[in-house]
Amino acid sequence: MSDQYTVQTQPNNVDAHDSAKAHVTGAAVYVDDDISFGSRKYVAIGGSQVAHGTLNSINLDRVRQASGVIDVITAKDIPGHTDIGPVFPGDPLLTDSQIEFFGQPLFAVLADSQFEARQAVTLADIDITEAPAVLDLQQAIDSQFYVRPPHTMKRGDSDLAFAAADQKTGESGAHSDASASDRSTVINGVVSVGGQEHFYLEGQVAMARVEEDGGFIVKTSNQHPSEAQKLVAEVMAVPVNKVVVETRRMGGGFGGKESQANACCCFAAIFAQRNKVAVVCRLSRRDDIILTGKRHNFINRYRVAFDDGGQIDAIHYELAAQCGSSPDLSDAIVDRAMFHSDNAYYLPNVTIDGLRCKTHTVSNTAFRGFGGPQGMMAMETVIDEIAFAVGKDPLDIRKLNFYNTDDRNITPYHQKIKTFNLPALVDKLEIDSDYRNRRIAIAEFNDANSIVKKGIALTPVKFGISFTATHLNQAGALLHLYTDGSLMLNHGGTEMGQGLFTKVSQIVSSVLGVNTAQIRITATRTDKVPNTSATAASSGTDLNGMAALQAALTLKSRLTDFIVTSQGCEATSIEYTEQGVAIGSKPHMTWAELATAAWQARVSLSANGFYSTPDIYYDRERAAGRPFLYYATGAAVSEVIIDTLTGESRVLRADIIHDVGHSINPAIDKGQIEGGYIQGMGWLTTEELKWDDSGRLLTDGPATYKIPAIADTPDEFNVALWSKDCIDESAVFGSKAVGEPPLMLAMSVWCAIRDAIGAAGDNKVFPALNAPATPEEILRCVTAVTKSSAKSAAQQ
Amino acid sequence: MLRFLLNDSIVNEPGVDADLTVLEYLRGPRNLCGTKEGCASGDCGACTAVVGWLESGQLRYKSINTCITLLGSLHGQQLITVEHLQDGETLHPAQEAMVNCHGSQCGFCTPGFVMSLFALTRNPPEPATDRKAHIERYLGGNLCRCTGYRPIIDAANQVLDTAAPTRDKFERNAQETINRLSEIEPASEGNGFYRPRNVDELCTLRARYPDAPILAGGTDLSLEMTQRLKRFDKVICIQQIADLTYLTSDKDHHYIGPCCTIADLVHGLQYLGRDLVNLLHRFGATQVRNQATVGGSIANASPIGDLAPVFISMGATVVLQSIDGKRSLPLEDFFVGYRQTQLLNNEIVREIIVPRSLPVAKSRSSPTSEGSEAGSPIADTLSVLKVYKVSKRIDDDISTICASFYLQRQGDRIETLRTGFGGMAAVPKRAHALEKLVCGKVIDNALIAKAGAVLAEDFQPISDARASAAYRLQLAENLFRRLCIETGPESIVSRVGEHV
């Protein structure tokens, strides 16, 4: 690999985040901290107070007269397109007719302060004819109410397999001498998986100013500046080249600023143009939670046939997602749920139906894992239920059903598994975490304790890396060398805390042999690198790191050619270092000397890099192809304790091994793994979204929506990077994507809670636990298993 | 006129609005944007800054949420923001540790964490205190969505391990700071922000401006502005009235001044047992406990406040005062409806009086939960205060329900029980039917089942964002069951926090 990239060293430093010092001193500038546009005016958005209906009239006189108000707009004031749906239409910036969710924007106000804008919004007089609303996912499933048509993936013949299994079940009933492996069990089940609010600490915000030529500069906390640029241009009815979008950093994104950050950009641009002032559109926390989409909740139904050993023969899934009022990114999200409903297991005969259900609630959107976690939850529920049915440790059922690279190696979407390190990784984790002994100790603890119960679970993660829309797998980068030897780096990826800028800078520094301090990392801007993809799908480093690598290689090859020509030396005798270049026995040149000399020789010192992921394709019509370049893998063991009187739970210990390939920055990768696990734990435990009967979100702030706090971090938290088996389908420098996959390690928490609940019912009844496992849900489940357990004991 | 020390500069602010929050002030006119707004409701800690003040001539420091602190309350104090921590080019140990431990990712919560860590250096754990618990308490009010907290816990440990985390410029400049703060004269009024010097002045102002809100800690009042978008042109601040901040006892009662903060209570009521201390440690987060007061918690009459159930179960009395004089009434009678009390619009909450033992008691022991349990409960009467808080998240969360039991038990028999429940009704209240049912009864499963039935007579809770009505009722029954188990002869692990 070194030869291929002609690098000096493999990047592998625990460099601090490039902004770490700015973070801790308060010097890091977020959009609302930026005073470079001078005095700014503020936007607030007025929304519907019903979930479904028709807007008859809207009287904004009192709004206009309110203190500090400068301007008020409705849908008719939008100069160009009103719909800002990212893929499909359905997301009007402001609506003037159909209301599809509680809080749907109807008008917007510009005022001197955010407070005055928010106050003014409450004064509108709105007349809406209410219509019956579909607020419940099951209701949408029953009435086949969809935002997009259902989609199915198939491999093998699950219908045939179930028919055979039914017959075998019947036969085995009749012939008790049938051998174990001949028998087959069929189970039907359902698991409900809750949604999740992103709760990035910095809420949605954008700031816009009009340029002298009628163009716009928009600064935004946004994972997808190119899309914001395109949408602002469409909304303002100007060419795309009239809009520059800049994102220096986000105070957290997690998918919530992929499509959801664009409305603020558009509002800011409209008001900036109308009033010729700098405008900030920053949502209050409550507006942010109410107005922007969340992780999709799912109802997953399954029918599974397996033999007496617990090996799966056939599965039929129905994965139904609550998409909310519009398609947004839901087609791809439900597809990804389907792509991951095998998790790490071979399914010989499989049918997966994915439903995109419509409800009159805010349109759900991307969130770390992008549907993948919800699909995997179906699979891990199935595994637990099989283990319960055959009376084995769920870990053994997991191992039994793992893919291999020989004969059990085709996914439900017909991609071949070429490398698969999970069996080895899980074996190591089982030993390192002392899983078997702890399970024994936990059983003893549970025998000795009637009120509190412990549980443990080991769950794996196999997560496909690449955008499943193949065309998005591209990236660009721009690298300048200045005559003093300093470098300026820019690429299409955005920094949301994941350390992307640091890693990409490390890649460039490795290629050129320079210290990262020599490279200035600059804000992502659509006028530097155009037509970029969202920083999403864990692809940030894979794509932008590769593009930056190409730029660095181009620059280096020009410099090498120049040195060879001017110095009359062999290319192989040149060594690039932090100090400059060493050329055999000739005098050393500093970077400033080299850059100046190359400039004087009229060598271009600005290089573009471009990358498109090779060898991936997906035929959605056939539901077959190779959508993923490779898989990221990992596994976690979690141990929990629950209180059977209250349903309260705690995670006592977590052990994780996660594969990041050749880590470019182990400290940053470890940060992603730990952070993902805790965020996933929140999703599956305390983070509960609740609506009232009118479709109003009740959990609209941190007082009612509870993300993990510091004391929720397990006391014992062991995280290791998998150090073997570098993959063949290498991403940049043999590293692996790490943004999303660790979130799903937290399934081990949820499965461990189920294990503990099972113990409360003496393991006589399978606990039909849903997510999130709030205290209320745990107590519901404990009550259910203890009642049925007592009943079955009474019957015996 | 409002005068305080902003970092190291004395500022005079004669013209600010009475209801301006510190965060609005910092990010607006001061352009100190290092302090972030995450929620504007005191729940996330992104806006944390540190306040220094003089107590008996000594400088003390505490962390606060600037989003729910009114600027006027800073008169005579020092406000330290994240921009001021470093010493020239040298990072403060709290900042250095966060960089070293990779404690920041997106960085938005980081200034708040850094300030909480700085406050931690000024309030380190006592040698006997569990360091981990202390760190979690100090940082429990700061939410991070990126890191999973492990590196931040490491940073906190690193800061505490630093040879002298307090050997910084703040210590170097301490005497100068003390001198400068001492020179600030008390101010009575400025632009609608009133600072009465004593109770008489307060009662006069209260009578004159009955619609002006009373500002004690402000952790609830500020939400009227930031969440419900109200404005107040007059605010009566009572924090500076020394006569209202005390916690004293005689042989029969505790006397608690309304301006006692929750943090003060933790120290003052420790001997009432671990349960109460644990509850107080779960009351909001450190930034809130540093500000929120006993009087505020009682006067705002939230049905989910955690103090009222405890005090009701202990038979507390509330003393009200106006220019016409004082009156007292049982705390349980003070609450009349959802956020409605018997407080007249010219009255203030003057004092809470808590009996040291059960009012109907013939108990011989003082109500310490550990002490009595450790004795031999079969022969002696056990007199105990048990307080249970159940919430979705264990720390920094509002109670789904809070149940306080003041129990006398002899062997298997309940002699007397007084209760206080929060989260079960529109007001914090006793479960009279339960108390009547169980007094004098022998504890068995039948009694507990009956308790569940009568609790449904006592309470018709609502379903809301936190939980369903059915869950609340089941919890009430189960917490009574837990009470019976925990006060019984067998030692049974009954809480998830006490498994080891």
Mean pLDDT of A99-116: 98
Asked if the Cβ–Cβ distance from B494 to A643 is below 8 Å, we say yes
Q: Per the domain annotation, does A617 fall within a domain?
A: no
Asked if the Cβ–Cβ distance from B36 to A783 is below 8 Å, we say no
From A200, A710, A776, residue closest to B139, measured CB to CB: A710
Distance from A695 to chain B by nearest Cα, in Å?
A: 13
Better pLDDT: B377 or A264: A264
Q: Per the domain annotation, does B344 fall within a domain?
A: no
Q: Per the domain annotation, does A697 fall within a domain?
A: yes
Give the catalytic positions of A in this structure. Answer: 740
**Nearest to residue A335, comparing CAs of A359, A308, A313, A366?**
A366
Dihedrals phi, psi of A669, to nearest 5 degrees: -60, -40
Structure tokens at A761: 């019912």
Q: Which residue of B has its CA nearest to A689?
A: B465
A707, B41, B86, B116, B124 from B138: Cα distances, Å: 18, 18, 21, 7, 10
A649 touches chain B (CB under 8 A): yes
On whether both A566 and A683 belong to a single domain, the answer is no
Mean pLDDT of B350-361: 78
A780 touches chain B (CB under 8 A): yes
Question: pLDDT at residue B370 above 60?
Answer: no
Structure confidence at residue A796 as a pLDDT band (50, 70, 90): low
Task: Say if pTM beats, i.e. exceeds, 0.90.
Answer: yes
- Final residue of a structural domain among B150, B182, B214: B182
Q: Per the domain annotation, does A239 fall within a domain?
A: yes
Q: What is the pLDDT of residue B367?
A: 45
Cα–Cα dist B30/B40, whole Å: 18
Structure confidence at residue B271 as a pLDDT band (50, 70, 90): confident
Q: Per the domain annotation, does B447 fall within a domain?
A: yes
Q: Per the domain annotation, does B475 fall within a domain?
A: yes
Dihedrals phi, psi of A451, to nearest 5 degrees: -95, -50
pLDDT per position as a tens digit, B16-33: 999 999 999 999 999 999
Structure tokens at A674: 């730990």
On whether both A54 and A19 belong to a single domain, the answer is no
Amino acid at B33: C
> Secondary structure of chain B in the HEC alphabet?
CEEEEECCEEEEECCCCCCCEHHHHHHCCCCCCCCCCCCCCCCCCCCEEEEEEEECCEEEEEEEEHHHCEHHHHCCCEEECHHHCCECCECCHHHHHHHHCCCCCCCCCHHHHHHHHHHHHHCCCCCCCCHHHHHHHHHCCCCCCCCCCHHHHHHHHHHHHCCCCCCCHHHHCHHHHHHHHHCCCCCCEECCEECCCCHHHHHHHHHHCCCCCEECCCCCHHHHHHCCCCCCCCEEECCCCHHHCCEEECCCEEEECCCCEHHHHHHHCHHHCHHHHHHHHCCCCHHHHCCCEHHHHHHCCCCCCCHHHHHHHCCCEEEEEECCEEEEEEHHHHEEECCEECCCCCCEEEEEEEECCCCCCCCCCCCCHHHHHHCCCCCCEEEEEEEEEECCCCCCCCCCEEEEEEEEEECCEEEEEEEEEECCCCCCECCHHHHHHHCCCECCHHHHHHHHHHHHHHCCCCCCCCCCHHHHHHHHHHHHHHHHHHCCCCCCCCCHHHCC
Determine the number of helices (DSSP H) and then strands (DSSP E) in chain A. 21, 29
Q: Per the domain annotation, does A620 fall within a domain?
A: no
Amino acid at A41: K
Mean pLDDT of A550-573: 96
Which residues from chain B sit within 8 angstroms of residue A444, using beta carbons? none
| Domain that includes residue A527, residue range | 2-27+474-612
A364, A541, A598 from B41: Cα distances, Å: 25, 36, 57
Chain A 160-199, residues with CB within 8 Å of chain B CB atoms: 198-199
Q: Per the domain annotation, does A540 fall within a domain?
A: yes
Distance from A469 to chain B by nearest Cα, in Å?
A: 27
The 10 Å Cβ neighbour count of residue B13 is: 20
Q: How high is the ipTM of this complex?
A: 0.96
Q: What is the pLDDT of residue A213?
A: 96
**Nearest to residue A102, comparing CAs of A324, A361, A397?**
A361
Asked if the Cβ–Cβ distance from B497 to A24 is below 8 Å, we say no
| Residue A324 bridge partners (DSSP) | A358
**Nearest to residue A270, comparing CAs of A64, A76, A90?**
A76
Question: Going by C-beta distance under 8 Å and a sequence separation of 6 or more, which residues neighbour residue B479?
Answer: A645, A646, B388, B390, B401, B403
pLDDT per position as a tens digit, B411-420: 999 999 999 9
On whether both A564 and A487 belong to a single domain, the answer is yes
**Nearest to residue A86, comparing CAs of A226, A283, A213, A227?**
A227
Question: pLDDT at residue A133 above 60?
Answer: yes
* Alpha-carbon radius of gyration of chain B: 23
**Helical ranges in A81-156 per DSSP H:** 114-121, 137-142
Asked if the Cβ–Cβ distance from A249 to B106 is below 8 Å, we say yes
- Final residue of a structural domain among A581, A612, A643: A612
Q: Which residue of A has its CA nearest to B98?
A: A24
Count Cβ–Cβ pairs < 8 Å, chain A vs chain B. Answer: 263
Q: How far is CA B416 from the centre of its chain?
A: 29
Question: pLDDT at residue B192 above 70?
Answer: yes
Q: Which residue of A has its CA nearest to B477?
A: A645
Q: Using an 8 Å Cβ cutoff, are B58 and B86 in contact?
A: no
- Percentage above 70 pLDDT, chain A: 96
Asked if the Cβ–Cβ distance from B395 to A650 is below 8 Å, we say no
Q: Per the domain annotation, does B488 fall within a domain?
A: yes
Distance from B128 to chain A by nearest Cα, in Å?
A: 20
> Sign of the CA dihedral B472, B477, B481, B484?
positive
Which residues from chain A sit within 8 angstroms of residue B227, using beta carbons? 286, 701
Number of domains into which chain A is organized = 4
The 10 Å Cβ neighbour count of residue A795 is: 6
On whether both A763 and A641 belong to a single domain, the answer is yes
Structure confidence at residue A166 as a pLDDT band (50, 70, 90): confident
Cα–Cα dist A737/B412, whole Å: 61
Chain A 94-133, residues with CB within 8 Å of chain B CB atoms: 115, 118-119, 122
DSSP codes of every residue in A357-394: EE-SSPPP---TTTTHHHHHHHHHHHHHHHHHHHT--H
Question: pLDDT at residue A447 above 50?
Answer: yes
Number of domains into which chain B is organized = 2
Q: What is the pLDDT of residue B163?
A: 67
Dihedrals phi, psi of A651, to nearest 5 degrees: -90, 120
Q: Per the domain annotation, does A370 fall within a domain?
A: yes
A675 touches chain B (CB under 8 A): yes
Ranges A236-240, A732-736, B47-51, B135-139: which has the least confidence: A732-736
- Conformation bin of residue A301: beta by default, left when phi > 0, alpha when psi is -120 to 50: beta
The 10 Å Cβ neighbour count of residue A430 is: 18
Question: Mutate which of B92, B105, B402 to test chain A, going by most A C-beta atoms within 10 A?
Answer: B105
Q: What is the pLDDT of residue A1?
A: 35
Q: What is the pLDDT of residue B364?
A: 41
Question: Going by C-beta distance under 8 Å and a sequence separation of 6 or more, which residues neighbour residue A28?
Answer: A19, A22, A249, B107
Cα–Cα dist B293/B265, whole Å: 9
pLDDT per position as a tens digit, A368-388: 999 999 999 999 999 999 999
Q: What is the pLDDT of residue A183?
A: 81
Dihedrals phi, psi of B282, to nearest 5 degrees: -105, 10
From B95, B108, B465, residue closest to A690, measured CB to CB: B465
Distance from B110 to chain A by nearest Cα, in Å?
A: 6
Q: Per the domain annotation, does B139 fall within a domain?
A: yes
Burial class (CB in 10 A: 0-12, 13-18, 19+), B201: middle
Mean pLDDT of A190-215: 98
From A24, A675, A709, residue closest to B91, measured CB to CB: A24
A771 touches chain B (CB under 8 A): no
From B35, B43, B109, residue closest to A26, measured CB to CB: B35
- Final residue of a structural domain among A578, A612, A646: A612
A503 touches chain B (CB under 8 A): no
Structure confidence at residue A170 as a pLDDT band (50, 70, 90): low
Mean pLDDT of B231-247: 95
3-state secondary structure of A455: strand
Better pLDDT: B360 or B290: B290
A638, A649, B137, B392 from A714: Cα distances, Å: 9, 12, 15, 17
pLDDT per position as a tens digit, A220-257: 999 999 999 999 999 999 999 999 999 999 999 999 99
Which residues from chain A sit within 8 angstroms of residue B495, using beta carbons? 452, 643, 648
The whole-chain average pLDDT of chain B stands at 92
Asked if the Cβ–Cβ distance from B149 to A452 is below 8 Å, we say no
Where residue B435 sits, what CATH number does that domain have?
A: 3.30.390.50
Q: What is the pLDDT of residue B366?
A: 44
From A118, A253, A713, residue closest to B153, measured CB to CB: A713
Q: Using an 8 Å Cβ cutoff, are B194 and B205 in contact?
A: yes
- Final residue of a structural domain among B182, B208, B229: B182
Q: What is the pLDDT of residue A726?
A: 59
On whether both A123 and A208 belong to a single domain, the answer is yes
A783 touches chain B (CB under 8 A): yes
Asked if the Cβ–Cβ distance from A779 to B142 is below 8 Å, we say no
| Domain that includes residue B455, residue range | 375-498
- Percentage above 90 pLDDT, chain A: 92
- Final residue of a structural domain among A392, A422, A437: A392
Q: Which residue of B has its CA nearest to A642?
A: B496
Asked if the Cβ–Cβ distance from A709 to B499 is below 8 Å, we say no
On whether both A661 and A569 belong to a single domain, the answer is no
On whether both A210 and A96 belong to a single domain, the answer is yes
Bond prior to A772 in cis (omega within 30° of 0)? yes
**Nearest to residue B236, comparing CAs of B221, B223, B257?**
B221
Q: Which residue of B has its CA nearest to A699?
A: B465
Cα–Cα dist A282/A642, whole Å: 40
Structure tokens at A297: 């909740």
Question: pLDDT at residue A51 above 90?
Answer: yes
Q: Using an 8 Å Cβ cutoff, are B77 and B85 in contact?
A: no
On whether both A533 and A497 belong to a single domain, the answer is yes
On whether both A447 and A408 belong to a single domain, the answer is yes
Q: Fill in the DSSP letter of residue A406.
A: S
Cα–Cα dist A674/A650, whole Å: 17
Cα–Cα dist B344/B335, whole Å: 12
Asked if the Cβ–Cβ distance from A671 to B105 is below 8 Å, we say yes
From B108, B144, B466, residue closest to A704, measured CB to CB: B466
CA torsion, ordered A366, A367, A373, A375, to nearest 10 deg: -20
Structure tokens at A29: 């500038």
The upper half-sphere exposure of residue A374, i.e. CA atoms within 13 Å in the direction of its Cβ, equals 32
Which residues from chain A sit within 8 angstroms of residue B219, using beta carbons? none
Better pLDDT: B458 or B126: B458
- Conformation bin of residue B7: beta by default, left when phi > 0, alpha when psi is -120 to 50: left
Question: Mutate which of B25, B146, B400, B490 to test chain A, going by most A C-beta atoms within 10 A?
Answer: B146
Mean pLDDT of A446-454: 97
Distance from A642 to chain B by nearest Cα, in Å?
A: 6
Cα–Cα dist A107/A88, whole Å: 23
Q: Per the domain annotation, does B384 fall within a domain?
A: yes
Question: pLDDT at residue A441 above 90?
Answer: yes
Which residues from chain B sit within 8 angstroms of residue A284, using beta carbons? 40
Cα–Cα dist B11/A647, whole Å: 51
The upper half-sphere exposure of residue A145, i.e. CA atoms within 13 Å in the direction of its Cβ, equals 19
From B95, B106, B151, residue closest to A201, measured CB to CB: B106
- Final residue of a structural domain among B123, B147, B182: B182
**Nearest to residue A356, comparing CAs of A592, A549, A140, A568?**
A140
Asked if the Cβ–Cβ distance from A649 to B496 is below 8 Å, we say yes
| Residue B419 bridge partners (DSSP) | B405
Question: pLDDT at residue B393 above 80?
Answer: yes
| Residue B319 bridge partners (DSSP) | B328, B351
DSSP codes of every residue in A586-615: SPPEEHHHHHHHHHHTT---EEEEEEE--S
Q: Which residue of B has its CA nearest to A783?
A: B474
User: Residue A428: in which H helix or E strand, if any?
Assistant: helix A422-432
Where residue A741 sits, what CATH number does that domain have?
A: 3.30.365.10
Where residue B57 sits, what CATH number does that domain have?
A: 3.10.20.30
**Nearest to residue A377, comparing CAs of A160, A585, A680?**
A680
On whether both A463 and A589 belong to a single domain, the answer is no
On whether both A435 and A494 belong to a single domain, the answer is no
Question: Mutate which of A23, A39, A199, A290 to test chain B, going by most B C-beta atoms within 10 A?
Answer: A23
On whether both A214 and A355 belong to a single domain, the answer is no
